Amino acid sequence: MNASPVTRIDKDMENDKFWQYPKLPILWVATLAMMVIQKTGLVKIIWRTVAKNLPAVSEVAKKAKTSRALDIIYDYERKPLPELKIPSLKSWRKFIVETVMRFLFEIRHCQGARNRLKIVKWLIGKEGRRIPLEKTWKLLVIACGSSRASLEAVAERKKIGGQSTVILVDKSPRALAKAMALATSLGIADMVVAIRGDAMKIADLVKDFQPDTVEAVGLTDYLTDKDTIALINAINGLLVEGGKLITGNIAPNTEKPFVKIVFCWSMIYRTLTELRRIALASKFPQHGIEIFTEPLGMFYLLVLSK
């Protein structure tokens, strides 16, 4: 098998490993506790308490697999810990809420997701600069969610006088509405078309559109190997010669049971070998395979050149 090298991107990445090891036993205990609680009536009471005190956590668990859950993780920012005033219950509550928020939104899964977004922004940004300014950059974003990386790259290109045509595809009207709102706020809505549909029917959805670049990140984590290869091959059929597909997958890691049981977020985790095997089984040439990762090793990004 061609051992396509993996490039680790470290610059500007979150890489707080120090607390992750002491955290692990707590995550596993929470996972076991949740497995037991799920069999009792207590589960509703617990989620009601979480919804009241930690609405962001409750929403991630309710909207796992959707772009809403990812947006909450992307938008998380560490706040200063509130001052503890010993007799004040309110100050204790605020302190505990902020501590739990830090604990959960800074697990490697969340840090890795934010790192992945930064790498996608960098990769798409490079694409926006690769296509000559006198040509219209054709970009297709599949399972776009809020489509931050691609839309920001299009806005950057516009600033230097470049035209783009973007097609956004998602099965969720909410995700498409969010992406269009972002396009409007970036002043590029006239360059963007949103199509609601199933990624597995991409060739029918976009007809004769021949993109220079396709972004499909956060989708293969929910697809079998067979469907992933079928999707990659369909994208290969659409891309212009020399065009690029940016995709990727979550990597196996010790937080998987917690993310699955507590965040109710099931995914297909793939090793580097499994990801390479998929790339090699596709119609993309071997020499066009590049793999990137972030410092925590939670996510791989796969770039395939036609």
Ligand X SMILES: C[S@@+](CC[C@H](N)C(=O)[O-])C[C@H]1O[C@@H](n2cnc3c(N)ncnc32)[C@H](O)[C@@H]1O
Q: Based on CB atoms, which residue is closest to ligand X, 206 or 217?
A: 217
Q: How far apart are CA 143 and CA 37, in angstroms?
A: 34
Q: Name the site residues for ligand X (rule: CB under 6 A).
A: 66-67, 70, 143-145, 170-172, 175, 198-200, 217-219, 222
Among residues 15 and 66, whose Cβ is nearest to ligand X?
66
Instruction: Give the nearest distance from C-beta 225 to ligand X in angstroms.
Output: 15
> Would you say 61 or 200 has its CB closer to ligand X?
200
Q: What is the 3-state secondary structure (H, E, C) of 98-152?
A: HHHHHHHHCCHHHHHHHHHHHHHHHHHHHHHHHCCCCCCEEEEEECCCCCHHHHH
**Smallest separation (angstroms) from ligand X to the CB of 36:** 29
In angstroms, give the least distance from the CB of 277 to ligand X.
Answer: 22
Residue type, 286: Q
* Residue 215: CB minimum distance to ligand X, A: 7
- Minimum distance of ligand X from residue 197's CB (angstroms): 7
Position of minimal CB gap to ligand X: 145
Q: Smaller CB distance to ligand X: residue 12 or 81?
A: 12
Of 237 and 285, which CB lies nearer to ligand X in the complex structure? 237
Q: How far is the CB of 93 from ligand X (least distance, A)?
A: 32
Whichever of 143 and 245 has its CB closer to ligand X, that residue is: 143
